[in-house]
Chains A and B, each alone.
Chain A
Amino acid sequence: MTARRVVIALCLALVMVNSGCWDRREIESLAFVAAVGLDKAEDGQIEVSVQLINPSALGQTSEGNAGSSLSVWVVSFRGRDVMEAVRGIVTLTGKRLHWAHNLLVVFGEELARSGIKPYVDWFRREYEPPLRAWVLTTPGTAKEIIAARHPMVQIPAQVIARMVEVQASVGAAPQVDLLQLVQSLRGSTGQVTGAIRVIPSNLPKSSPSSENLQLFAAAVYGGGRLLGYLTPIETRGLLWLTPTPVRPIVVLPQGKENEREIAVEIVQFHARMIPRVNDSSQARIQVEIEVTGNVGEVTSNQEVDSESILRRLEERTAAVIRYQAERALDAAQNRYRVDIFGVSDVLRKREPEYWTSVEDRWNDAFTALHFDLNVNAKIRLTGLITNPLP
């Protein structure tokens, strides 16, 4: 009987422990973070800006007030590190920040140029922030991006996240999340993130969203420091050279003055790098790019109704892709002198002996590396019609 009493007492203790629940978090006491931006402050500290969702304003979707109500609130705080700044935000909000639904991490240019490596540790160490959050770099301040509004939706961070996802069919910027960034920061390779900027909007100045956001290119980092941005052509080249779900469209110039065009929509894409090391320990990288596409638009008078024409289009598609990839290689090897394609990772895995011999001087070895580009393009469908209007 004594034992039974003890067990009952222990069970009661269990109930007390459960109901006490030290870590209880009432939903009213939480501020949901949708996006975070990191900037360098003038005093050398870091400024963290968060876009907080105001759930009570989200239901107000009647005409005219979408985007105009305070559906999000942007708060900034400075600290010596991310954690100090993040904790400091509580002094402004009176609510504990809840990071589980964070969609974006944006680095401002100044901070990015000084190096982002120290600032990703908190995102890895803390349990709540998702590793799937998209990482972007902006030529201005991250706060601008975080504070920008959107005329059609109430939570701008959701739109930016969707922009990163749906631009896959255009190839405007690479899709890089926190986990991918961290993994590229660990190696000796360069890093890339999508780049986003604020552009003027055609809406009236009085509108709450008088500015638009645009994903425009890839930001290039070396050793965690921002080095610059690729051009749109180079960005597409980067996307052709890396395993990515992004499938840019390919525009084939036509006619003597290249005024008319044929747009090829890429529906399948596969790229792989095969390292070849010869007896004298010199490496070449064979790049195999295979794309399958459909004719998306013909603005010239080019007919597309025969096999031979489609074969010619395939050759020209391959040539455009090769050109874009070469531009990206040129930018990486000669302008920025960092490996942004993950070649070091391929060599480490496939040619470990060679990799060991060049690991310490990888950036130099990379700039001297020769790439053999083999592009194989297939065009299958022409849409609902064959030839354009005469």
Chain B
Amino acid sequence: MNREVLSPYQFTMLTAITISGTAIINLPQILAILTGQDLWIPLAIGIALGVIYACFVSSLAGEAVETGMTSYLIDAVGRFFGYLVLLVVAAWLMFIWVKSFRQVSNMILTALMPETPDWALLALGTVTTLSVAWYGIEGVARTTEIVFPTVLISLIIILVISVPDLDPTNILPLFQTELTNIFRGSFAVMTFFTESLVVFALSGSIRSPRTIRRSVTAAVLIAGLIIMSSSVITLFLFGAEDLGTRSYPLLSLVRYVRIVDFIDRVDPLIISIWLAGVIVKASVLLLSLVVIVEQVFGIQRRGIVMIGLSLIQAILSFTLIQTNVAIDKLAMGVLPTFAVPVVYSVTVLVWAIRRLRRGRKT
């Protein structure tokens, strides 16, 4: 494996953009459906648990820097379980990639290019991701240095110009949601923080392993802040009921706001910035999967692995999930109920077993 090096700053940005890249698309709607105006509660819980989860992941990543993820897992939990965990992680990362692409392509079909066939958009996204990821994680990181601040600035601009239209009383009445829905909402938020698993896969690329935990914690907090602010401002503008019916709340907000009298629409600019963010996210997921496949199968031809994984992703994106209804159903049902607990449990279990084994050895 080529040892590429990322600075802690680049690593932080990559992780933050991976976590928040698609969360801002429709998480506010999901939370508004589940918890109404109380959406800030599952957000706070989900982000807090996300930070704790990221601590586990960064701890594992810090220890896997020298050996690589596969060897580390085999050493930690044995060959069979090690491969099983790798399979779970790889499947999860592939699923996130597939879901993200379908979500974004549906958004573009709705907002900008309704007559374009979805396969063309998915193919375009896949090829763009492939070309970004082709030159390795360092290339992606350098791209992120341009993309991430732009995404952040775009969000800040949206926040500032939407202030006159916001109604903070839309957060009232407080604490009206059933506990079950708060939990479901929290798990829906936690879904996105499982994406910090890319840190584990890409740990070999960081320049200074000692800074992993700090970088990941900072990334998770930045992502949490982005997710929280985007959800809260959409709640303040639309109110919980209206928010629950909007497939792309932040996009609707961007469509509503205007900068002074002569810039009526800022959405085309914002969408293009977000798309760049999603491509970076997809590239990070692709490179994480490449690392796993290379380590498991010992394949040295990175190009073939990348193309193979991209093809699998493209086929799955085209066939697996197609409608927004299906995506929402996943986001509110299957993922929070089954997938998130599994991914969190597996990560914590690996961490705990590793600790126990090390304790016995010493």
Residues of A whose CB lies within 8 Å of any CB of B are 2-4, 6-7, 10-11, 13-14, 17-18, 20-23, 100-101, 127, 130-132, 179, 182-183, 186-187, 348-350, 352
Contact = CB atoms under 8 A, between A and B. Distances in A.
A23 B130 contact: no
Interface stretch (B111-119, B142-150, B203-211, B321-329): B111-119
A100 B265 contact: yes
Given A14-B128, A131-B256, A186-B241, A349 B169 contact: yes
Interface in B140-189: 169-170, 172-173, 176
A349 B167 CA distance: 12
B113 A23 contact: yes
Contacts of A352: 173, 176
B264 interface: yes
Contacts of A10: 127, 130, 307
Interface of B is mostly: helix
Nearest to B251: A127
B242 A183 contact: yes
A183 B238 contact: yes
Contact of B172 (A17, A186, A349): A349
A7 B310 CA distance: 11
B349 interface: no
A3 B114 contact: no
A364 B304 CA distance: 71
Contacts of B134: 7
Contact of A100 (B130, B176, B252, B264): B264
Given A127-B110, A130-B265, A349-B172, A14 B127 contact: yes
B346 interface: no
Given A10-B130, A100-B265, A132-B256, 12 more contacts: A3-B301, A3-B306, A23-B115, A100-B264, A101-B264, A127-B111, A127-B112, A130-B256, A132-B258, A183-B238, A186-B242, A350-B173
A348 B171 CA distance: 11
A175 B258 CA distance: 17
Contact of B303 (A4, A17, A182, A183): A4
20 contacts: A2-B304, A3-B304, A3-B307, A6-B303, A7-B134, A10-B127, A10-B130, A11-B131, A13-B127, A17-B123, A18-B124, A22-B116, A23-B114, A23-B115, A23-B116, A127-B114, A131-B255, A349-B170, A350-B172, A352-B176
Nearest to A20: B120
Interface of B: 110-117, 120, 123-124, 127-128, 130-131, 134, 169-170, 172-173, 176, 238-239, 241-242, 252, 255-256, 258, 264-265, 301, 303-304, 306-307
Contacts of B110: 127
Contacts of B304: 2-3
A182 B172 CA distance: 20
Contact of B264 (A11, A23, A127, A130): A130
Contacts of B124: 14, 17-18
Contacts of A11: 127, 131
Contacts of B114: 23, 127
Contact of A182 (B120, B169, B242, B301): B242
B255 A22 contact: no
A352 B117 CA distance: 47
A7 B120 contact: no
Contacts of B306: 3
Contact of B307 (A7, A101, A187): A7
A7 B130 contact: yes
A292 B115 CA distance: 54
Contacts of A2: 304
Given A18-B124, A131-B255, A349-B173, A6 B116 contact: no
Contacts of A22: 113, 115-117, 120
8 closest Cβ contacts across the A-B interface?
Answer: A3-B303, A349-B172, A23-B113, A352-B173, A22-B116, A14-B127, A10-B127, A127-B111
A83 B163 CA distance: 33
Contacts of B265: 100, 130
Contacts of B111: 127
Q: Which of B134, B173, B258, B301 has the most CB of A within 10 A?
A: B173
A109 to B, nearest CB: 27
Nearest to A22: B116
Contacts of A14: 123-124, 127-128, 131
Contacts of B130: 7, 10
A13 B123 contact: yes
B159 to A, nearest CB: 18
Contact of B131 (A7, A179, A182, A183): A7
A351 to B, nearest CB: 8
Nearest to B114: A23
A133 to B, nearest CB: 11
B300 to A, nearest CB: 12
Contacts of B170: 349
B172 to A, nearest CB: 4
A236 B20 CA distance: 46
A132 B306 CA distance: 45
Contacts of A20: 120
A100 B268 CA distance: 11
A335 B173 CA distance: 31
B48 to A, nearest CB: 26
A5 to B, nearest CB: 10
Given A13-B127, A348-B173, A7 B303 contact: yes
A11 B128 CA distance: 8
A22 B115 CA distance: 6
Contacts of A179: 238, 256
A320 B91 CA distance: 70
A81 B256 CA distance: 24
Contacts of B255: 127, 130-131
Nearest to B302: A3
Given A3-B307, A186-B242, A348-B173, A23 B112 contact: yes
Nearest to A187: B241
Contacts of A18: 124
Contacts of B112: 23, 127
Contacts of A187: 241
Nearest to A3: B303
A127 B130 CA distance: 30
Q: Which of A4, A21, A349 has the most CB of B within 10 A?
A: A349
B307 to A, nearest CB: 6
Contacts of A182: 242
Contacts of A3: 301, 303-304, 306-307
